[in-house]
Amino acid sequence: MTQTSAKPEAGDNRNLRRDVGLIGLLFASVGSIIGSGWLFGAMNAAQKAGPAAIISWSIGAVMILLIALTFAELGTMFPVSGGVVRFPHIAFGSFASYTSGWILWIACGTVAPIEVEGALQYATKYAAFTSKSTVNGDTVHTLTGLGYLTAVVLLALFVVVNYTGVRWFARVNNVLVWWKLAIITVVVIAFLVTQFHPSNFTSKGFMPNGWEGVFTAIATSGIVFSFLGFRQGIELAGETSNPPEVRAHRRHRVGDPHRDHLCGVAGGVHRLSQPA
């Protein structure tokens, strides 16, 4: 295994510039976790599990933490880019890597459009980016002409940022993550101080849909989708400027319980701020 792992690492050193530092890797993961899921995920989980969505977020955090710690160990042993695909190749061979690579490619191809559509749904308050309709009793938001045009521009911007280089990506992402953290902190404090309603824990029952609602929320409301953002730090391991430094911190940062619960706390406070 040692001989096999030496080749991909050497290839990364030859073809990729190691311009991402420890903070850049950390913020790549944090920025992916704190996406549209911190509001949409909290809303959907509360609809399915009620106040017990707090349990859903906690269970989801523990589940993904076990996976994240495994990847943290592998990422420090084999600091190569595309670890989610490269690790199966090292352990199981080309076919496993080929299969997981196509699955990951399809999954990653949907993330950017999902985030753009989520952002435009937020922004519908300011312009007609989406139109609301009802399908089978559920409210859905569909992009309008303006929404499609804006989505194309935003996706093109993502391409430019990634094409320019990982160093620029890391710098832009660091600024955005600090902004996200600031917004979430302000929202949590503001709702706790001005609009916190403890009665929401019991007004319709703490667990209105039982344990079925709790476990359904984990898989279908965006909880797992949000937490899986930790993978970005693993994917960029081959572009790390100082692998030994990252190796010393990765195990602690990937499993930070405060960060794992940040999305759930922020969304829960938002939900509890609404009158019963």
133 has which bridge partners? 140
Q: pLDDT tens-digit profile of 123-134?
A: 888 888 888 887
**Do the Cβ atoms of 31 and 262 come closer than 8 Å?**
no
Which is more confidently placed, 83 or 2? 83
Name the nearest CA neighbour of 93 among 85, 104, 82, 81.
Answer: 85
Tell me the CB-side half-sphere exposure of residue 2, using CA atoms within 13 A: 0
Retrieve residue 35's tokens.
């996406």
143 has which bridge partners? 130
Instruction: Please state, in angstroms and as integers, the Cα–Cα distance from residue 56 to each residue in 156, 200, 226, 265, following that order.
Output: 35, 17, 13, 12
Q: pLDDT tens-digit profile of 2-39?
A: 444 444 444 444 555 666 667 777 777 787 788 766 77
DSSP 51: G
pLDDT at residue 62, rounded to an integer? 92
pLDDT at residue 120, rounded to an integer? 87
Q: Check whether 254 has a pLDDT greater than 60.
A: no
Name the nearest CA neighbour of 58 among 275, 267, 276.
Answer: 267
Rounded Cα–Cα distance for residues 176 and 194 (Å): 27
Rounded Cα–Cα distance for residues 49 and 56 (Å): 8
Name the nearest CA neighbour of 32 among 88, 115, 122.
Answer: 115
Model confidence at 59, pLDDT cuts 50, 70, 90, reads very high
Q: Check whether 227 has a pLDDT greater than 80.
A: yes
Rounded Cα–Cα distance for residues 83 and 89 (Å): 9
AA letter at 162: N
Q: Residue 187: how many CB atoms within 10 A of its CB?
A: 17
Tokens 């191809």 sit at which residue? 109
Q: Check whether 109 has a pLDDT greater than 70.
A: yes
Rounded Cα–Cα distance for residues 247 and 8 (Å): 18
Report the chain's mean pLDDT, rounded to a whole number.
76
Retrieve residue 234's tokens.
């693993």
How many residues are given for the chain? 276
